[in-house]
Structures are given as C-alpha cells and as structure tokens.
Amino acid sequence: MRGWALLCAGFGMASRGSAASHVSVAGRKEVTAAMHHAPVPAKSPRLRTGIIPTPVQKVAGLDSALTPHQPPTSSVSACTMAGGIKFEHFPCGVDAARIPGRAPSVVMLGSMHAGSRGLATNLAEEGYEVVLVDTTSGSASLSALRKPPTRGEWVSDANLRETHGWAMATNVLSLIDNAGGWNRYTALLTLGLEQEDADVVAALQVETSGKGGLSAYVAYGSQLQPGQAVEAAKRTMDAGLPFTAHVAEDAQLVDALVQAAKSGEIPQSALPFHPELDGFAAELGPVRPTTLAVFTYAVPNEASVWACAFPFSHHTKDYAFSTGMEDSHRSAAAMSYSRTVATLKAAMGPRFPLEQLWDQHTYFEFATRSAARTMRTMVAQPYVNHIACLTGGAGYTQLARFYQHHFTNVSPPDTTLVPISRTIGADRIIDEMVFSCTHTTVIDYFLPGVPPTGKKLRIPMVGIVNMRGDKLAYESLYWDQANTLTQLGLLHPTKSSLDPTVTLPIAGDQVAQKILHPYGTPSNELMPNWPESENKPVPADP
C-alpha cells in the first residue's frame, strides 16, 4: 500500500542494491540501511516493516497517497533506525471490490515474532488492514513508544497526559496519521499489555473521539490485579466500547469477576459458565452489541504466550507447534481467535455472506466439477481434512492436485447432498448432511482404493467449514467409516475379526434413517443391556 511505502521512505528507507542515502528526519540526518525486496504472492497478504523515530513528524502528501485495502503488489520494506518505534503493516487481503470503502483497521500492540506476524496475516485475510507495533518488554521500540511527544497540539484528558499509556497512544496515532489517517473503523488488539501502559486504551479513545474513536478492544492476557481488572472492565463497558478479554484461568480473577457479576456490576452474560451464576435470562428486541466478554482458558501461561498459537493456518502453524506449545495452548488459541473475529466483525465488519460463499464452493465441487474454480474460492494456503480416511490436502499445491485428480472427477454421477441442519457462526459454517450415491466409481476422497460395489450408499456426515474473509480457509469432514463399509458389504456389523467373543456396535443404512427420521427409527438396539433398565426409576418430569 503506497501510503505505508511512503511512510517508510519518508523515514529513510532505501532499496537493496541502491546506495545508502541520507534523508532528513526531524531535522537530523539519518543513514538508511540497504533493504531487501522479494516477490510476494498476490493472494496472500504480506507486510511492510519499518522503524520510525519518535516523536513522529508529519510527512507531507501521505494522506492522499494511501489506497485503502489494495492487495500488495510490491515487496517487503524495512529499515533500521536506532531508538525508533518498530512496526509492520499487513495490507487487507480481500479484493478491494468486495469491501465498500476503506477496509477496517486493527492496531496490534505486542511482541514482534513469527506468531504475532502470523496472527496479523490471518487478520489481514479476514479483511482487515493491520498494523503490528512492537511492544516487546525492554525493547527500544517500547521505550520510544513511552516517550511523550514534545508538541502540545493533542487534546487530551489531563489525567492521562503524563502516563506511559497516553504517550504510547499519541505516538501510535502519529504513526497512523502519517499513512492515511485514523480509520473510522479501528480496533485495538493487545498481546500482554503491561500494567503501566494500560491507559493506552482510554487515551486512544480520547484522542480519536473526533475521528470515530475505537470500534472495539481485544486484550490477550492481563497484567492487572483482579480488582483492577474488574474496574477496567467496568470502565470500558461504561464507555460503550465493545471489549473482549482472553485470560488464563486464575482462581482469584475468576472469583473477583463472579462477585462483580453477582452484585450487578457487570452482566452475568459477560462471563463463562460458573456454578454460582445461573441467571440465564433472555433478551428481547433487536440484537444489541456485546459490550463486555471475558473468556478464561485452562492453560498455565498468560494469554499473550499462546495467543498466536492458532494451529489451523499456514501463517501460524510453525509457532503453534514450536517448543513449549501444547495441545491446551493450541486449543485456547483456536477458541480465542474465533471469539476475537466475532468481536471485530460485530463492531466494524467486514461481514460476508458466508452461506452463499460456501454454497458457491460446493457448486464448483459437485455441479460444475471444476478444480480451478473450487480453488479460487479458498485462501492462498488452505487445507481440507476428511477425517475418517485422512484424504484432502494442506497447502495450495497439494490441495489443487487432490481436487483435480482425486475429487471433482471421481464422484458417482448420481451423487447428492441432502442438508439436515446448518449452523452459522462469525467465521464458520457447520453442515449436517447425508451424502448419497450409487458406488459405481472409486471414490478416492471417501473410500480410497475400494473398487466399485454397485451398492447404494448413504453417509451421514458433519462438515465444519472455516471462512477467512471471503474465502474458505479450511474444511474438516467427519463421518462413520465403519458404517460406510458395512453398507457396502465390506465390514461385518457385529463380528470382530480379532476377538470372536465381542459383538461390534456397528449399524448400516439405519444410521442415515435415524438422522432423517429420528422419531421413527428405534434407539439403543445396539445396547445389549438396554432391556435391563426397563421399568427402573427415572428423574421426575420437571
């Protein structure tokens, strides 16, 4: 994006291969280091990097130079400037034609590493223009952010003016003002914000009040004491700013939040389930924005440690499976990511028609049977996982090969999908369906290596489809392979080949019948001891 390119150039960036140049910044001469430029795939949002001196000075002409959510067409840019604020910019990865106006922005404050860069890239693919500002503890960048600006043109709250959080807010604003100005739709996301910087949220809200303010705030990790955390949550809620917090499960913090909910200081609906909170009251009228949501995760580390350990993306997988990360971290990261996206979409968009996008994908899969068009509905590095037989693919090359040679052209001609139910979330669709066909071809993707039997086949299945922005990011498909093989006469439904004394609990076409007609197909017939409980007492009808 040209505005960010000019911002970096204005602060002394030079291309590799060119002579190091001297440029004037804040009245001084700085020497820029030679920079590397590498080609970037157009489909995958990439970044611009830079380090800016503080206080930030206005670069003339940048406001008009910024082209909102333009897919990147140039290489990564970077610079080295001692004592400056380090940042990286990730342009919106969604086609500009699909977003009316400027793409929403996310300002990320956190340590700069492979995981945070991956998280920023994921958010760029969701349809956000992301700026990652380095706040690594003890770094020169954090020190520069905490340095108060010398100019006095800010209209600020006198109570905030002398805090590190206010200095951080004004320096971040200077950075953004130099490249297009504050976006009407901007959210703040922090990764392990230190306690002394906590005022940055209020300061940003105050300093941008005339420009639209903050649209939402998402915090990973908390350095606040339980009482302070409750007060911060109340203030944010009172300000009407949608606030989502992801924190490690801590007994003292949970107790403080529960007591605040019981006293009415914060709504019970803002907290996860707790045995002491059972006021599950309904809301009437139009859906109102959620102003406070606190999620706790049963992991030993602060949320800022595992926030980027999202395992279901090409951009974050290496960090997610790095040393020290466990299944609990990856689970928490996956759950929190969806909740973060839900907050951002509800507060400022972009919200795409997920049903139509998913139905278009399946249309290309089964109706036109076009591998090329199917792949164009997906992100640059998607994956598909058919759980029961491990077919599909991870990454563009493998998945395109799978669709071209092992999916679109191998389905039996009478293949149909009968929908049963559909659940739509902020970033995913869950389909319950019955796949029906006559087994007249080798169906590589469901029955690899199994020759045609000519038998009718009905497979109940559940598909979980994740959408990232306007593209499909991944798909997980679940079904009962034993049931499938039994229908084809390839697996005995009751006899075990390893232990003749064991009766196997496998059903055939009754499984599909049970899905389609739950009241008309008997239950529990595979339970040998089911008759033993007949006429035994059961809980009273409430």
Tens-digit pLDDT profile for residues 470-523? 999 999 999 999 999 999 999 999 999 999 999 999 999 999 999 999 999 999
Nearest Cα to Cα of residue 122 among 504, 530, 474: 474
Task: Please report, for the chain, the start and end positions of each structural domain, with discontinuous segments joined by +.
Answer: 80-275+288-348, 354-516
Which residues touch 72 (CB under 8 Å, ≥6 apart)? 1, 40, 42, 45, 46, 91
Torsions phi, psi of 204, nearest 5?
-60, -40
Residue with tokens 């559940």: 462
- The beta-strand segments (E) located in 94-231 are 105-110, 129-134, 186-191, 216-220
Residue with tokens 């009040």: 209
Residue with tokens 């087994």: 439
- The beta-strand segments (E) located in 391-470 are 391-394, 416-424, 428-438, 456-468
Q: Are 198 and 219 in contact (CB under 8 A)?
A: no
- Distance of alpha carbon 369 from alpha carbon 141, whole angstroms: 52
Strand-strand pairing, 48-52 and 471-479 = unpaired
- Distance of alpha carbon 378 from alpha carbon 374, whole angstroms: 7
Q: Are 483 and 459 in contact (CB under 8 A)?
A: yes
- Specify the amino acid at residue 467: M
- Distance of alpha carbon 357 from alpha carbon 378, whole angstroms: 10
Handedness of CA 145, 146, 148, 153 (dihedral sign): positive
- Distance of alpha carbon 170 from alpha carbon 54, whole angstroms: 11
- Distance of alpha carbon 242 from alpha carbon 205, whole angstroms: 12
Q: How many residues does the chain have?
A: 542
- CB count, 10 Å around CB of 240? 11
- Distance of alpha carbon 382 from alpha carbon 397, whole angstroms: 10
Nearest Cα to Cα of residue 127 among 101, 91, 181, 88: 91
Q: Are 305 and 329 in contact (CB under 8 A)?
A: yes
Handedness of CA 16, 20, 22, 28 (dihedral sign): positive
- Distance of alpha carbon 414 from alpha carbon 436, whole angstroms: 8
User: Count of H helices and E strands in the chain?
Assistant: 16, 18
- Distance of alpha carbon 182 from alpha carbon 79, whole angstroms: 23
CATH tag for 80-275+288-348 (out of 3.20.20.80, 3.40.190.10, 3.40.50.1820, 3.10.580.10) = 3.40.50.1820
- Distance of alpha carbon 217 from alpha carbon 347, whole angstroms: 10
- Distance of alpha carbon 7 from alpha carbon 484, whole angstroms: 59
Q: Are 129 and 88 in contact (CB under 8 A)?
A: no
Nearest Cα to Cα of residue 211 among 312, 63, 362: 63
- CB count, 10 Å around CB of 491? 17
- CB count, 10 Å around CB of 519? 6
- CB count, 10 Å around CB of 27? 6
- Distance of alpha carbon 359 from alpha carbon 366, whole angstroms: 10
Element (H, E) at 379: strand 378-386
Q: How high is the mean pLDDT in each 10-residue block of the chain (542 residues)?
A: 43 33 28 29 44 38 32 37 77 94 95 95 97 93 88 57 85 84 94 90 89 93 78 80 90 87 86 86 83 90 89 95 94 96 96 96 92 96 96 96 94 94 97 97 97 97 97 97 97 93 94 94 94 92 72
- CB count, 10 Å around CB of 73? 10
Q: Are 91 and 71 in contact (CB under 8 A)?
A: yes
pTM of the model: 0.83
Q: How far is CA 541 from the centre of its chain?
A: 43
Torsions phi, psi of 105, nearest 5?
-115, 150
Q: Are 312 and 338 in contact (CB under 8 A)?
A: no
pLDDT of residue 274: 86
pLDDT of residue 214: 94
Q: Are 34 and 18 in contact (CB under 8 A)?
A: yes
- CB count, 10 Å around CB of 66? 20
* H helix intervals, 239-353: 251-262, 303-306, 317-320, 327-348
- CB count, 10 Å around CB of 467? 27
- CB count, 10 Å around CB of 454? 8
Element (H, E) at 478: strand 471-479
pLDDT of residue 278: 85
pLDDT of residue 73: 36
- Specify the amino acid at residue 495: K
In the numeric block, which tokens belong to residue 7?
A: 């911002």
pLDDT of residue 189: 97
What CATH number labels 354-516?
A: 3.10.450.50
